[in-house]
Amino acid sequence: MKPEQVFQSANRIEKVISEQGFEVQRMKRNDIKRFLAIYFEASMNGDQMPDADGEQFFEMEEDEDEEKKVV
């Protein structure tokens, strides 16, 4: 599906659910990550998850050009 088609489908689904009397609210990135973490029991207390798996195990250093490099 193209991005435009995804948004059109999401809008249609949101409208159908709203017409049934339910409140609809789209989740933001952090909400989605928290929901998935709890669902998959990766973070039972709702801790924030990194954007990339294993990100916390690498030390990042900025060089003179302000670029981040893995040490």
pLDDT of residue 33: 84
Q: Which residue from 26, 4, 5 is spatially nearest to 15, judged by alpha carbons?
A: 26
Number of structural domains in the chain: 1
pLDDT tens digit at each of 71 positions of the chain:
788 899 899 999 999 999 999 999 999 998 988 888 777 766 556 566 667 777 777 776 766 555 555 54
Range of the domain at 14: 3-70
pLDDT of 53 reads 72
Computed from CA positions of residues 23, 25, 31, 32, in that sequence, does the dihedral angle turn out positive or negative? positive
Return the pLDDT at 66.
53
Tokens of 54: 């294993």
Residue 46 pLDDT: 56
pLDDT of residue 63: 60
